[in-house]
Structures are given as C-alpha cells and as structure tokens.
Amino acid sequence: MNLSPKKRLEILDAVRRGTVPRDGLDVLAVGLEPFLEPMGQELKKLSTGGSGFKAVRGEYGCGKTFFTRWLQEQARAKNMATAEVQISETETPLHRLETVYRRMIERIATQSARSAAFRGILDSWFYTLEEDVLSTGKVDGNDAPALLEATNELMEQRLNAISRQAPSFSAALRGYRSALAQGDAGTAEGLVAWLSGQPNVAARVKRTANIKGDVDHFAALSFLQGLLVVLKDSGHPGLVLVLDEVETLQRVRGDVREKALNALRQLIDEIDAGRFPGLLLVITGTPSFFEGPQGIKKLPPLAQRLHTDFDTDMRFDNPRAPQIRLRTFDFAMLMEVGKKFRSIFAEGSTERERVLAKVDDALIESLARGVSGTLGGKTGIAPRIFLKKLVGDILDRVEIYADFDPRKDYRLTIRQDELSLEERNHMPAASVEDIKIEL
C-alpha cells in the first residue's frame, strides 16, 4: 500500500481512538466500488461550474462518515476545498444557516492546509488578482497604491453579482486588503473573523471597512456564493460541503425541525437554480430520517426532491440518484478491512514477519466473530470496535512484546463505557459491565 509513514501513523492512531481516519482512505475503502465513477463525475461537474446535491443514507456503522471523508479526500486531490459540519441542536442547528456557514469556514480545508485554510485562501486570491493586474502591463508593480487600487477594481468586477445582494462581503475584503497594505494586522484579523461569520467583532474594526452588524441567515448564503468565487479564482475549482448527522433533526422540537427542513429545502432549490456554481452539498442520515415520520416526510416538498426508489435489489441501486444508500458491513467486508489494516500495520513495523505470522487470517476471523457476536450478531455496527481491538489490543502488543501470543495471552473484553449508545443497544446483556470472549 502506497502510504507515507506519517499517513500510516495517523490512520493507526485514529483507529486506536475509535475514530475514522482523515487521510489515506483510498487504500482502506471497502464496498465503495459502485460509487467511484458516479462521484468522480460529480466532482468533475464542479470544475466546469456545475453544482450538485447528494444524500447519503445508511444504518449506524455502515460507513457514512468514512464515505464522506473518502469523497472529501478525492476532492482535495483535485485541488478542491472541503468542509465537514456536524449538525446538532445546540452547537450547529441547521435552521441557523449563519451558524452552519461559520462552522464551515472554521473547518474548511484544502490539499495544502488541512485546517484553518480560509485566510490562506483569501491571501492566495489577492495574489492571483495582483498577478492578473500586472499581466495587463497597465500597472507598475513598484507602484503599491496603484496596484492596490487596480486590484480592488478587479475584485469588484469578480464579485459584481454577489455585491448586488451582499455589498458588505466585498467591502470587508477591500478593508482586509487595505489593512494588510498598511501593516495593520489587528484590523486584518478582525475582518477575516467577520467574514468567517464570527460574532462580537469590534465595532472599530467594522467601521474601517464601513460594515455593520454580523453575518445573518440571508447574508450567509450570499457569502457562500462569494466564497465559491474566491475559491475558483484562487485555483480551487469547487467546494464539497458535508452536513453530517442530519438525522439529529428528528429529536428536536417540532417548530425547530420544520425550520431546519425548510432551510435544507431552500439550499437544495438554490443549488438546482444554479446559485452556487462549484458547490457539492452532501448530507448524511439514517433510513429513519428519510423514511420515518419525524424526518423529511414532515416537509413533503423536501421528501419529493429526495425520493429515490429503493424497492429493487440493492445490487441495482442507481448511484446517480439524489439519494444513495450504503451497504451495511457484512462479515466478508469486516474480514477484508481487517486484513487491510494488518497490512498497513505490518508495512511500517520493525517486526513485520512476527506480526504477519501471529496475526493470521484465522485470528482476524476469530476476533471479527467475537466482536460482532458481542454486539448481538450485528456485523454492520462492529467495524469501529473490531478495528480498535485489532490494532490497539493485538497488533500493537505483538509488535512490542516478542513473547506475546494473542491466542494464549489475549481475551476479548468489551466494556460498556467504550461503546456508543447505538452499540450498547445491540448488546444482548446491556447490564453486564464486561463481556469476555476467548479467541
């Protein structure tokens, strides 16, 4: 497997923590073959000014988070930007689009900057604008005031459509550029914070750019338009925005749920109308969100937009449909991913031969059966715990201790406090603190 030592370590550390790795997902993907070509086409569409929407549907543990991070990795490899936002009632309510926008900016990433990439994107854009101005030969590169003025004029041209709806977006950018030129780092940082949707920016900072208030629900949509223009001009042809765990809307008050579903419908309609060229919006949810009484069916126009036929055999699902469903992990897939992680571990190990000899296919199979059996035979929710045990409890010990034999010295133990609520709900005896299984 073609992984750098750094990426290999990041993958294994994530699994030890019981989380989904953020990189190197290509080599770990299992069961995603039907989506390779269709999702590649979705990303290609962004590069030509198109936009799109995709709802990813699956039971707990089927790999929705893995799928969306895999997709983001594919996008960043094409020099696109990505952002993943967790929807929650308290932290990021979907009906407050200004909050969704703020979280998106906080988490925006590119191939070269995996976090806090927004300011770098802005600086890259202004550099591109300056280069475009200088390429005309009409401005002397040594004439800083003239270059600043010409760059601002070009900026206004590029943002002309957005400025008609949200003039404060270009005003803040112009103020940011001027603050940088004057060496006023504090004002520049304050204006970046305001553009990011952060509240409580000092009034003094806003006055320098002639802007007022904070980014609200309606301005957030215009600012998203502006961001897409900035991204394209700075060499990032698209943005993949993931709204994860939208099924949490089922647990909120009825009026809040209605507002959130309507906000989602509005976003989809605006994408269909071509308002956000270069944007791929992806949402994830459980089947109950798409089919249950407290999900999208509460808003019939949204349910109509997302309706997809899943009555046929899963083998014939249409991966181009607005809603796609992920296959639940079966035992063969669990074995395949276990073998992949063993290979990743062994490739970077100083004790490769010992690792491969002691952690053979039969041992991986025993561990997989033990974990899935403990979780009520639900193989689909077993991958997280299975991989955590495989790497942290077995592979690490085999590498560290020459005399450690997992068949003799290891006993699978799964404690209640290391399981998620969903995983605990599938344990046959939820009141038992420890469940031990001999391998």
Do 88 and 161 lie in one domain? The reply is no
Tokens 């215009």 belong to residue: 222
36: in domain: yes
Domain range enclosing 158: 118-221
Q: Flag whether pLDDT at 431 surpasses 50.
A: no
Q: What is the pTM of this model?
A: 0.86
- Please give the average per-residue pLDDT across 154-182, as a whole number: 87
pLDDT band at 378 (very low <50, low <70, confident <90, very high): low
**In this predicted structure, what is the pLDDT of residue 425?**
64
Question: Is residue 323 a contact partner of residue 290, using CB atoms and an 8 Å limit?
Answer: yes
Instruction: Determine, yes or no, domain membership for 425.
Output: yes
User: Has residue 228 been placed in a domain?
Assistant: no
Q: Mean pLDDT lowest for which of 59-63, 66-70, 312-316, 423-427?
A: 423-427
User: 178, 169, 172: which is closest to 151 by C-alpha?
Assistant: 178
Q: Which residues contact 365 (CB under 8 A, 6 or more apart)?
A: 335
- Residue 341: per-residue pLDDT: 92
pLDDT at residue 434, as a whole number: 47
Do 372 and 431 lie in one domain? The reply is yes
247 and 102 assigned to the same domain: yes
In a domain, 125, yes or no: yes
Choice among 72-86, 158-172, 191-205 with the minimum mean pLDDT: 158-172
Q: Does 22 reside within a domain? A: no
Whose structure tokens read 């270069």? Answer: 278
Per-residue confidence band for 197, with pLDDT thresholds at 50, 70 and 90: very high
Residue ending a domain, among 297, 325, 353, is 325
* Residues 344 and 291: beta-carbon distance below 8 Å: no
Q: Tell me what pLDDT residue 433 has.
A: 46
- Among 338, 260, 344, which residue's Cα sits nearest to residue 302? 260
Same domain? For 348 and 422 the reply is yes
Same domain? For 105 and 242 the reply is yes
**Residue 262 domain-assigned (yes or no):** yes
Of 83-87, 143-147, 216-220, 375-379, the range with the highest mean pLDDT is 83-87
State the Cα–Cα distance between residues 258 and 67, nearest whole angstrom.
Answer: 28
Confidence of residue 239 (pLDDT cuts 50, 70, 90): very high
Mean pLDDT for 262-273 is 95
Mean pLDDT value of segment 240-262: 92
| 239-244/81-86 β-pairing | parallel
- Residue 163 banded pLDDT, cuts 50, 70, 90: confident
Percent of the chain whose predicted confidence (pLDDT) is above 90: 60
Measured on CA atoms in the order 399, 400, 403, 405, is the torsion positive or negative? negative
Q: Which amino acid is at 352?
A: R
pLDDT value of position 185: 94
Domain boundary among 156, 187, 221: 221
In the chain, pLDDT over 70 holds for what percent of residues? 93
Neighbouring residues of 330: CB distance < 8 A, sequence distance ≥ 6: 379, 380
For 218-239, what is the mean pLDDT?
93
* Total of domains in the chain: 3
pLDDT for 430 equals: 44
- Summarised one tens digit per residue, pLDDT across range 94-146 is 999 999 999 999 999 999 888 889 999 999 998 988 888 898 888 887 888 88
Q: Are residues 409 and 380 in the same domain?
A: yes
Whichever domain contains 305, its CATH number is 3.40.50
Indicate the average pLDDT of the chain.
88
Locate tokens 């809603």: which residue? 323
105 lies in the same domain as 250? yes
Per-residue pLDDT of 301-341, as tens digits, reads 999 999 999 988 888 999 999 999 998 778 888 899 899 99
Q: What is the pLDDT, as a whole number, of residue 297? A: 92
* pLDDT bucket at 295, cuts 50 / 70 / 90: very high
Residue 199 has pLDDT above 70, yes or no: yes
Q: Which of 30-34, 364-368, 431-435 is modeled with the greatest confidence?
A: 364-368
- 432 has pLDDT over 50: no
**Type of residue numbered 421:** L
Q: 320 and 336 share a domain?
A: no
The domain boundary residue, chosen from 276, 303, 325: 325
pLDDT at 379: 62
Question: What tokens appear for 43 in the block?
Answer: 């990303």
Q: Write 2-5 long-range contacts (CB < 8 A, 24+).
A: 2/27, 3/27, 3/344, 3/347, 5/348
Q: What is the pLDDT of residue 181?
A: 87
Residue 229 forms part of a structural domain: no
Q: Are residues 129 and 214 in the same domain?
A: yes
105, 240: one domain: yes
Contact yes or no for 332/298 (Cβ under 8 A): no
Specify whether 175 is located in the same domain as 146: yes
The amino acid occupying position 108 is I
**Does 430 map to a domain?**
yes
The average pLDDT across 52-64 equals 87
Q: Same domain, yes or no, for 100 and 122?
A: no
- pLDDT at position 103 is 96
Of 168-177, 360-369, 413-422, the least confident? 413-422
